[in-house]
Structure 1
Amino acid sequence: MSALAAARSDASGVAGVQATTESSGVALTFDDGPDPNWTPKMLALLKKHDVRATFCLVGVQVQQFPQLVRDIVADGHTLCNHTWKHDTKLGTRSEDAIRADIKRTQDAIQAAAPGSSVKFFRHPGGMWTPRAVKVASDLGLTSIGWDVDPMDWNIAKYPAGNPMRDHILEVVRAKTQAGSIVLSHDAGGDRSGTLAAYEILLPELKKNFQLTAL
């Protein structure tokens, strides 16, 4: 781990949540999919620039759109468990409830893409608890957070399209550094601003950093 990466921790303050790549590489992560509209467009953009990313998948979406999971795997991206229904309060529930939720999501991903590897877990909303981290670890999953968050889900504050695009550009350019994990979304609403931002950001980031899937 670089000294720079080691100095940063997940904003939740919960021990055991990895907020950096623990290397000089920068990881792009996309949450809440797969989505039938936005995920294929993001996959096409990543393929155009020969970039591998990490997709944090929601179980109900996986169950509904299994081919998209296979497409993500076929393109060489990393999979991450993002719970069954994006329950931001999951970490406050019992260990048995957390375990059942994570395992249900794991099973759905494996059913969609047999033989695929899922080694990461991300709690919805970053609402981590020590209990959630423990259960994920017991299931062999590394809990991942982030250190760059352009809040591309917040369309109410930054409307979709150019306002969101410009906001994402500003945040990612200003905050990304060696070891960063960048949070973005390929589902959960209008992601046109996210897509437009990464059209510009991918070549810039590739020039300045080594982009890596977790």
Structure 2
Amino acid sequence: MKKDEMIPGRRAVLRIAACLGAAVTTRLLTAEPAGTPGHAALASPAADGGAAAAGAAGPGVVETRSSALRTPAAYRLQPLTEGAPPGYRRAAPPVREKPFLELPDLGHSMVLTFDDGPDPRYTPQILRTLREHDVRAMFFVCGEMAGYNQDLVREMAGDGHIIGNHTWSHPLMTKLTPSAIRSEIERTSEMIVKTTGAPPLWFRAPYGAWNKHTFEIGAEFGMEPVAWTVDTLDWATPGTDKVVRAVLDGAGPGVIVLQHDAGGNRSQSVAALRRYLPTLLSDGYRIAVPYR
């Protein structure tokens, strides 16, 4: 697809898809039987002065650990729209002024996120480790990388991971015009819809650089903005030990961990996940992903 914006008809289709994708059940979808603890509302950053409403029922959490490993076929989840009332449509999210920095009130749960991919050298190893421990994560993909590695994007979705929008080419959004911001976001959402059949419901600005236009355009496409609580700085390749220590030192209820599965040599990120994930699980943390 060319770099210029989509024709109006295709843009309308994408926005309709975003509305359809945001229609989700108000119960938890888990790999476990019914009876799993219920919803926990997303809260905005502390600077917002309290919880931010994210819809009438509030978003929920998909718990991601079970007592036994599953075969690949059993591991794959049903679409998150399963069980939604007929004709149900959720309104686009409000335009926020700050991204979510944490997911509080989830009990002993944490969220793992990976940016910039997918990369055929590192993403498959991360997916394998997550599958071995039967946990789900959030992958904020760049549209250009997703286009080159559509099989990996489909594998992420098939394994039940959340796929978020991380722009097309990873620019500094605060330096772009509104039309350029729209193109970066729109093209990536289109690629995700083309590859998985569902639009992304979450957006993360590259470098954590947000502005008014970024929030407005993200909301226009039905996405909530999310940042992180713990930055492992794995992009700077500080050493596997330091990445592990950053996660374990920052562990806590509602914490969102930032790592990367592309954008450079991510072998330390792969090795760190293999080390800290079993420790978090043995410490009683659930690894969860949000849904709306």
Determine if the TM-score, normalized by the shorter chain, exceeds 0.5: yes
Q: Partner residue of 1:166? A: 241
Larger Rg: 2
Q: d(CA) in 2 for partners of 1:2 and 1:75?
A: 23
Displacement after TM superposition at 1:101 (Å): 1.4
Is the 2:45–2:98 contact (alpha carbons within 8 Å) kept by the matching residues of 1?
Answer: no
Q: Determine whether 1:200 maps to 2:272.
A: no
1:2 and 1:78, CA in 2 relative to 1: closer, same or farther beyond 3 A? closer
| Count of aligned positions | 201
Q: Partner residue of 1:62? A: 146
| Structure with higher helix content | 1
**Which range moved further: 39-48 or 172-181?**
172-181
Q: Letter of the 1:95 partner, please give it.
A: P
Encode CA deviations 1:34-76: one digit per residue, 9 max, x unaligned.
1011011100000000010000000110111111100100111
Displacement after TM superposition at 1:23 (Å): 3.4
Higher-RCO chain (CA-CA 8 Å, sequence separation at least 6): 1
Displacement after TM superposition at 1:2 (Å): 7.8
| TM-score, length of structure 1 as denominator length | 0.87
Q: What secondary structure sits across from 1:153 in the alignment?
A: helix
Q: Determine whether 1:211 maps to 2:287.
A: yes
Is the 2:104–2:253 contact (alpha carbons within 8 Å) kept by the matching residues of 1?
Answer: no
Q: What secondary structure sits across from 1:36 in the alignment?
A: coil
Displacement after TM superposition at 1:176 (Å): 1.9
Q: Partner residue of 2:115? A: 31
Q: Partner residue of 1:153? A: 235
Displacement after TM superposition at 1:92 (Å): 3.4
1:7 and 1:137, CA in 2 relative to 1: closer, same or farther beyond 3 A? closer
Q: Partner residue of 2:224? A: 142
Q: d(CA) in 2 for partners of 1:2 and 1:81?
A: 23
Q: Partner residue of 2:158? A: 74
Which one of 140, 159, 179 corresponds to residue 254 of structure 2?
179
Is the 1:9–1:18 contact (alpha carbons within 8 Å) kept by the matching residues of 2?
Answer: no
Q: d(CA) in 1 for partners of 2:44 and 2:198?
A: 30
**Which range moved further: 183-192 or 204-213?**
204-213
| TM-score, length of structure 2 as denominator length | 0.65
5+ unaligned residues in a row in structure 1: which ranges?
159-163
Matches within 5 A, 1:10-25: 15-24=97-106, 25=109
Which one of 87, 101, 111 corresponds to residue 184 of structure 2?
101
1:2 and 1:118, CA in 2 relative to 1: closer, same or farther beyond 3 A? closer
Encode CA deviations 1:154-200: one digit per residue, 9 max, x unaligned.
02xx2xxxxx2100111111112101110001111111111111111
Is the 1:92–1:129 contact (alpha carbons within 8 Å) kept by the matching residues of 2?
Answer: no
Q: What secondary structure sits across from 1:211 in the alignment?
A: strand
Q: Partner residue of 1:161? A: none
Q: d(CA) in 1 for partners of 2:208 and 2:140?
A: 12
Is the 2:45–2:101 contact (alpha carbons within 8 Å) kept by the matching residues of 1?
Answer: no
